[in-house]
Structure 1
Amino acid sequence: MNDKALAPGGLALVEALVNTLDVETGADTLDTADGRAAFGLAEPDVPAARELREALRAACLAHAGHRAPGSSPAALDRLLADAPLLVTVADDGTAALRPAAPDRLVSRIAEALAAAAASGTWARLKACEAEDCRWAYYDRSPGGRRRWCSMSVCGARAKMRTYRARGRGAAPSEPGLRPEPRASNAGEA
């Protein structure tokens, strides 16, 4: 659902992996040969890739201040422990982290996360607040406080639910959505 440009650098790989599952429809591109080929996966690699994807989604949700039931960003820590990185030094003396096993998806993800953490961009990769979406997006807003992948779709739906709940006098149904306080006029008696 993300209507913005892809995340910068290696985070585009992370974003693409998280977005292989359309939560709303249940469609998973890792079920297709083309979808697996995009990540250099064979069919037996898919369960591990799915586990990695959901751990990344949990971390992206945490970046946005949310937590999905039954998921924890700590799972990503466990998965990345199996992806050692090496420090390499170029001819000009610059150092970089490179995956020890570049043919493995988890190693490429670890390299991308290390570079993103160093550049300060990792925390801007988030997952949509909408429970029926959870699409990964890169938050390019100045304050880094975006909540939805698309204001025109997920944001509009959430705001409409809040508006309707307010009209019924009920509390908003989605966590994090609170009616705005009414403005008071100081001059009124």
Structure 2
Amino acid sequence: MYDRAPAPGGLALVESLVNTLSVDTGTDRLDSADGRAAFGLTAAEVPAAKELREALRAACLAHAGHSSPGRSAGDLDRMLTGAPLRVSVDGAGAVTLRPTADPAALLSRVATAIAEAAADGSWLRLKACEAEDCLWAYYDRSPAGRSRWCSMAVCGSRAKMRAYRARRGG
């Protein structure tokens, strides 16, 4: 949201989808024609995309050690069963993952991105900001993988100021 580079590879799609909803303002890019077009969605596909987005947000929160009210990792697992993948080997022996369903479908693209990110170890670094009024997805590039906020300058600063005020009694 603020000062972070996008997630690498296919995780950029997942990060971008999670960040279509601005939790603090309530603005949802999937409610606009341009927002839907960015993901190749029709108006009829938006409710399913929003469900997928919130299941992804719950997984990102779990990666950061937090829970999502009303959501669990099982929600994403259930959704991804609708997008089975297959391993494809080309003539040179290179292996890629391919959806067995419509490869243009958002769920198929997300499933492929998650599978590839899980294989290279980057999936667990896609997190959601712990600030309850933010919950923005970000890719944690810190050496220890312990980032807590999408931006130290904004959400981190606010959290530290709240903690400071609480310690000082006002």
TM-score between the two structures when normalised by the length of structure 1: 0.88
Partner residue in 2 for 1:57: 57
SS in 2 for 1:147: coil
Output the CA distance in 1 between the equivalents of 2:2 and 2:107: 24
Partner residue in 1 for 2:75: 75
Q: Is the 8 A contact 1:2 1:136 kept in 2?
A: no
Partner residue in 2 for 1:26: 26
Structure with the higher helix share, 1 or 2: 2
SS in 2 for 1:58: helix
SS in 1 for 2:97: strand
SS in 1 for 2:167: helix
Q: What is the CA-CA distance between 1:89 and the residue it aligns to? A: 1.0
- Say whether residues 1:146 and 2:147 are aligned partners: yes
SS in 2 for 1:9: coil
Partner residue in 2 for 1:97: 97
| Higher RCO (Cα < 8 Å, 6 or more apart) | 2
SS in 2 for 1:57: helix
Q: What is the CA-CA distance between 1:44 and the residue it aligns to? A: 0.2
1:29/1:43 Cα in 2 relative to 1: closer, same or farther (>3 Å)?
A: same
Output the CA distance in 2 between the equivalents of 1:72 and 1:39: 24
Q: What is the CA-CA distance between 1:96 and the residue it aligns to? A: 1.3
List structure 1 segments (4+ residues) > 4 angstroms apart after TM superposition.
none
What's the C-alpha RMSD, in Å, of the aligned pairs?
A: 0.9
Output the CA distance in 1 between the equivalents of 2:147 and 2:87: 34
Partner residue in 1 for 2:88: 88
Of structures 1 and 2, the larger Rg is shown by: 1
SS in 2 for 1:54: helix
Which runs of no fewer than 5 residues in structure 1 stay unpaired? 170-189
Q: Is the 8 A contact 1:11 1:116 kept in 2?
A: yes
Output the CA distance in 1 between the equivalents of 2:119 and 2:76: 18
Partner residue in 1 for 2:131: 130
TM-score between the two structures when normalised by the length of structure 2: 0.97
Q: What is the CA-CA distance between 1:90 and the residue it aligns to? A: 1.4
Q: What is the CA-CA distance between 1:2 and the residue it aligns to? A: 3.5
Partner residue in 1 for 2:16: 16
Which runs of no fewer than 5 residues in structure 2 stay unpaired? none
Q: Is the 8 A contact 1:128 1:147 kept in 2?
A: yes
Which residue identity is paired with 2:3?
A: D
Write the deviation string for residues 86-129 of structure 1: whole angstroms up to 9, x where unpaired.
21111211111111221210010000000000000000000000
Output the CA distance in 1 between the equivalents of 2:137 and 2:3: 11
Write the deviation string for residues 50-108 of structure 1: whole angstroms up to 9, x where unpaired.
00000000000000000021111110000000001121111211111111221210010
Output the CA distance in 2 between the equivalents of 1:2 and 1:40: 25
Partner residue in 2 for 1:160: 161
- Say whether residues 1:115 and 2:116 are aligned partners: yes
